[in-house]
Amino acid sequence: MRIFLLLLTLFVIGPLQANPFETKPDFLPVEQAFMLTHDRQADGQMRVYFQIKPGYYLYQKRLKFDGLSADQQPHLPPALNHNDEFFGDSAVYREQLELVIPATAQGQLRLGWQGCADAGLCYPPQTTVI
């Protein structure tokens, strides 16, 4: 009888601990969370634009510009302070980020970035050649 009660308890209580109404967040693919566009302006400068979806952010310190000399690095606009569970206090961008690469930059630029979702997912570092 004791075994029966123990088994009954396990079968009744066990499923109650799993919340069937718990929803896991749906994360966007990285290219949708951080939509990147770029174009060359009439004056020769390259405009790089990130459209960042709500609930997502880009790390300022994870922006990399390989292929540019020190004087060709873009000016980074002020970022927001964010306390991040992965990287601690961090400077981040939300909603949008626009960068201007000087006209003196020629050839290929390898752009690197990394971002996260507020719901707890950090994407691996991304790179693209423009």
CATH superfamily of 30-129: Thiol:disulfide interchange protein DsbD, N-terminal domain (2.60.40.1250)
Reply yes or no on whether the pLDDT at 86 is more than 50: yes
How high is the pLDDT of residue 15?
53
* Contact (Cβ atoms closer than 8 angstroms) between residue 24 and residue 118: no
Domain boundaries, the chain: 30-129
Average the pLDDT over 36-48 and give the result: 91
CA distance 98 to 36: 10
Torsion region of 95: left, alpha or beta (phi above 0 gives left; psi -120 to 50 gives alpha): left
Question: On the CB side of 30, how many CA atoms lie within 13 Å of its CA?
Answer: 14
Choice between 14 and 101, residue whose per-residue pLDDT is larger: 101
Place of tokens 């980074």: 76
Confidence of residue 5 (pLDDT cuts 50, 70, 90): very low
Reply yes or no on whether the pLDDT at 109 is more than 70: yes
